[in-house]
Amino acid sequence: MATPASESAGPRSGASHVRRNAAIFVGIVAVWLIIDQVSKLWFDAFSAGELISEPVAGVVGLRLVRNTGGAWGAFDGMTIALAIFSVILCVAILAYLFLYAKDATVMLTVGLSLVFAGGVGNIIDRFTHGYVIDFIQPLFIDFPVFNVADIGVTCGIVIALCSLFASGVREETEKGSE
């Protein structure tokens, strides 16, 4: 029986999927981490709360926030606990992708790569600074200030869930045609 993340039968199998997924994973994680860490390095040079730019089209502003908690200020001051929890989740992503879902689709691999990269980006902040460097402030809704790592986590979750949903629909369709 195929794993929930497996692709339909094709010319690729087992080891070739793992190699393909590993290449996708390493590439996305490296690029996303570089963008995340370089942007945080630049923004962390400003004073906390400082307006860094005028609002862009009234949609987004840039303001430095040094976040010692999670999203929406949840778990404020629990930097180390959040970092440890994030490390556990990142290890779980690696185990799932490379041990359980060896035949994961490209879409699932991309999604999990983004979640992993975002998690690692924020883990680096928590362990090196004692806070996460956030700087993107949506102005059109009441939403917390966030960063590139958070974009990776959010988009990655959506992509991974869409992949798992599509795989489930595909399996149900295949069962129905038997």
Residue-range domain boundaries for the chain: 14-166
| C-alpha radius of gyration, the chain, whole number | 19
36 catalytic per annotation: no
pLDDT digit string, tens, across residues 81-113: 999 999 999 999 999 999 999 889 999 999 999
pLDDT score for 49: 87
pLDDT score for 50: 86
Beta bridge mates, 51: 63
Say which of 36, 103, 125, 134 is annotated catalytic: 134
Say which of 36, 103, 125, 150 is annotated catalytic: 150
pLDDT score for 6: 44
Q: Which of 160, 166, 165, 169 is nearest to 108 (CA)?
A: 160
134 catalytic per annotation: yes
The DSSP-derived string for the chain is ---TTBPPS-S--HHHHHHHHHHHHHHHHHHHHHHHHHHHHHHTTSPTT-EEEEEETTTEEEEEEEESSSGGGTTTT-HHHHHHHHHHHHHHHHHIIIII-TTB-HHHHHHHHHHHHHHHHHHHHHHHHSSEEEEEEESSS----B-HHHHHHHHHHHHHHHHHHHHHHHHHHHHHT-
- The segments of the chain whose pLDDT lies below 70 read 1-13, 172, 178
pLDDT score for 58: 86
pLDDT score for 167: 85
pLDDT score for 13: 62
pLDDT score for 4: 47
